[in-house]
Amino acid sequence: MKTRIVLFFLACVALSGVALASSRTVTLDVKNMTCAVCPITVKKALEGVAGVQQVSVSYADKTATVQFDDATTVNQLTEATKNAGYPSSIKAEPK
């Protein structure tokens, strides 16, 4: 019985940690997108990164907007696009 109580407590703690994770959004400048299929490849690469919640890729703007949890880093996102053949960097804010 004690084991079940301990397991229940640990499960509650683990689930509460997931609920506390905050969400971030970043827009990336994506290089090498030269055709209409390229955004699909970029989107799939970003969706493969653990913690990514939503991805929107614009072929016209050559950007990808990614919503992800705080356990994920921008470096993981840029590595994913680079490994797919589309180097990226954080989009500079307009001045």
* pLDDT digits 0-9 by tens, 10-40: 555 555 555 556 999 999 999 999 999 999 9
What tens digit of pLDDT does each residue of 68-90 get?
A: 999 999 999 999 999 999 999 99
Distance CA 29, CA 40 (A): 15
Complete domains list, the chain, with CATH? 22-90 (3.30.70.100)
Q: How far is CA 66 from CA 6, 47, 82, 85, in A?
A: 37, 9, 15, 18
The pLDDT score that the predictor gives to residue 92 is 76
What is the model's pTM?
0.76
The pLDDT score that the predictor gives to residue 62 is 96
